[in-house]
Amino acid sequence: MRAQIIPILRAAHFIPTLAVTSLSFALAFRTSQATTALSIAITVLTGQLIVGWSNDLIDYSDDLAHDRQNKPLVAGAISARTLQFALALACLALMLLTLFGALSGFFGLLHLFAVLSAVAYNAKLKETPLSFLPYLFSFGLLPIFILGATNYESELWMGVIGALFGVGLHLANVFKDLEQDRESGIFGLPQILGEKFCRIGCALCFGTGSLILFGTTESNASLAVASAAAVFLLPIPARFAFPYAMALGAAVMTVLISTIS
Q: Using alpha carbons, select from 166, 253, 235 the residue that is nearest to residue 202.
A: 166
What does the pLDDT look like over 181-234, one tens digit per residue? 898 889 999 999 999 999 999 999 999 999 999 999 888 888 898 999 999 999
Is residue 96 predicted with pLDDT exceeding 80? yes
At 220 the pLDDT is 86
Distance separating alpha carbons of residues 125 and 134, to the nearest angstrom: 8
Q: 110 falls in which pLDDT band (50, 70, 90)? A: very high
At 239 the pLDDT is 85
pTM listed for this prediction: 0.94
What does each C-alpha distance from 155 to 161, 168, 253 come to in angstroms?
11, 21, 14
Q: 2 falls in which pLDDT band (50, 70, 90)? A: low
